[in-house]
Amino acid sequence: MRVKFSKMHGLGNDFVMLDGISQRIRLSPDKIRRIADRYLGIGCDQVLLVESPRDPDADFRYRIFNADGSEVENCGNGARCFARFVRDRRLTGKKRLKVETSGGLLQLKLMDGDQVSVDMGAPVLEPEQIPFNADRCAESYLLEVHGETFTIGAVSMGNPHAVLLVENVQEAPVTQLGPLIEVHPRFPQKVNVGFLQINSRSQAQLRVFERGVGETRACGTGACAAMVYAHQRGLLDDQVGIQLPGGNLTIHWSGPGQPVTMTGPATTVFHGHIIL
């Protein structure tokens, strides 16, 4: 099967975008892994498949697959690239879009230049909905990892995130600790792991070891989850700049029950065909 694709990224978190509306596309975990393979395929962190919506309120549905072939609930950087992709492929003329994901309905706004703003919905803090095994809902939790105890936040943005505060994000044990927490038994669906260095009440730096991928250059849902955790602890204001290795996201959240808004770029790199 010969399939058209677009290669895109959000701050270096890179994607293969597939239009499953104009093309008949059948994916499997093996096909996803091959597309994502940086030697045997195109290479990407996630594969994003655009489909017609099931929800009558939505303009589109988009499905998110990590490089390991797993299908997941949400992808912040991917949502911005999705909006740019459907607009550039003339699948819509709208600047405001509602898109259905398995993690819920997102509202997107295409802005001037390469910027896209996404209403990511309200964060979920109830442990069993994250899911995270804990006796009760708390601002932070103690997590034992191979005999060492860490303080973490646990937040879902449709997908699960653990967040650790660090003094120096450049020196954080992302590659050592990230994979251990990713598969920690208290996270029954595994977890994305964020390392957050707070520089002021309106600026922080973040690195993320992503579930199903490894460390990425940026993670949109990770930036939202990290901001929510630090905001809950009274460490960040309602509007912050989160600096990731690939660039900066602006996150806004005014408190429990309110939606998190994320604004950042979406970049198209090239178009092509792949034989699946």
Ligand X SMILES: N[C@H](CCC[C@H](N)C(=O)O)C(=O)O
> Is there binding between residue 13 and ligand X (CB under 6 A)?
yes
Among 84-92, 197-205, 214-222, 226-234, the segment contacting ligand X (CB under 6 A):
214-222
> Is there binding between residue 213 and ligand X (CB under 6 A)?
yes
From residue 32 to residue 71, what is the string marking binding to ligand X with x (rule CB under 6 A)?
-------------xx-----------------x-x-----
211 is in an annotated binding site: yes
168 is in an annotated binding site: no
Query: Of these, 77, 101, 232, 243, which contacts ligand X (CB under 6 A)?
Result: 77
> Is there binding between residue 243 and ligand X (CB under 6 A)?
no
- Catalytically active residues are 75, 219
Beta-bridge mates of residue 263: 117, 250
Span 161-190, contacts to ligand X by CB under 6 A? none
Among 21-29, 212-220, 240-248, 264-272, the segment contacting ligand X (CB under 6 A):
212-220
Q: What long-range pairs does 182-186 form, CB within 8 A, spacing at least 24?
A: 182/209, 182/211, 184/143, 184/145, 185/133, 186/132, 186/133, 186/134, 186/143
Q: What long-range pairs does 26-29 form, CB within 8 A, spacing at least 24?
A: 26/1, 26/276, 27/65, 27/276, 28/69, 29/68, 29/69, 29/70
13 is in an annotated binding site: yes
> Is there binding between residue 261 and ligand X (CB under 6 A)?
no
CB of 230 to ligand X, least distance (A): 17
Specify binding-site residues for substrate: 13, 46, 66, 76-77, 159, 192, 210-211, 220-221
The binding site for ligand X (CB under 6 A) comprises: 13, 45-46, 64, 66, 72, 75-78, 159, 192, 210-213, 216, 219-222
